Copies of this chain bind each other. A is one copy, B any other.
């Protein structure tokens, strides 16, 4: 931890090379814990905490973590299935996080449920692409791995 000298470089001018470096910014907008988050390009996100510290005016930090993890897993899974020439008619992903009662009140367990609509995806395909994501191709999974139990489940619908 140290003091820093300069502000952010997160400006909405031309898009940076997001494959190497990513930036976000937060601005507190009330006298409690409601922040507006931005990446400088897309619609801002309202972030808040639970009462009494916050007012439920936005996503909690832990909900953003669930969306980050589940979208990262989903993107890896869909990319691999398409490379295997599997047809995808829809995809929905639900994530649930169970919090510890003591501080830090992080997730002791996260369950990610992937529902894929497809006429030709098999159980073996899903097992393979989920394993690939867990082992190497899901960066957010790699950053949480070891600190919480993560269960990835799936359902194939024709």
A: residues with CB less than 8 A from B are 1-5, 7-10, 15, 18-28, 31, 33, 35, 37, 39, 41-43, 45-47, 49-50, 53-54, 56-72, 74-75, 78-79, 88, 90-101, 103-107, 113, 115, 123, 126-127, 130-131, 134, 136-148, 151-156
Contact = CB atoms under 8 A, between A and B. Distances in A.
B59 A39 contact: yes
How many copies altogether? 2
B99 A75 contact: no
A136 B10 contact: no
Contacts of A136: 103-104
Given A26-B70, A28-B78, A61-B69, A1 B127 contact: yes
A20 B98 contact: yes
A26 to B, nearest CB: 4
A75 B61 contact: yes
Nearest to A28: B91
Contacts of A28: 74, 78, 88, 90-92
Contacts of A153: 1-4
Nearest to A115: B7
Contacts of A67: 24, 26, 37, 39, 45, 47, 61, 64
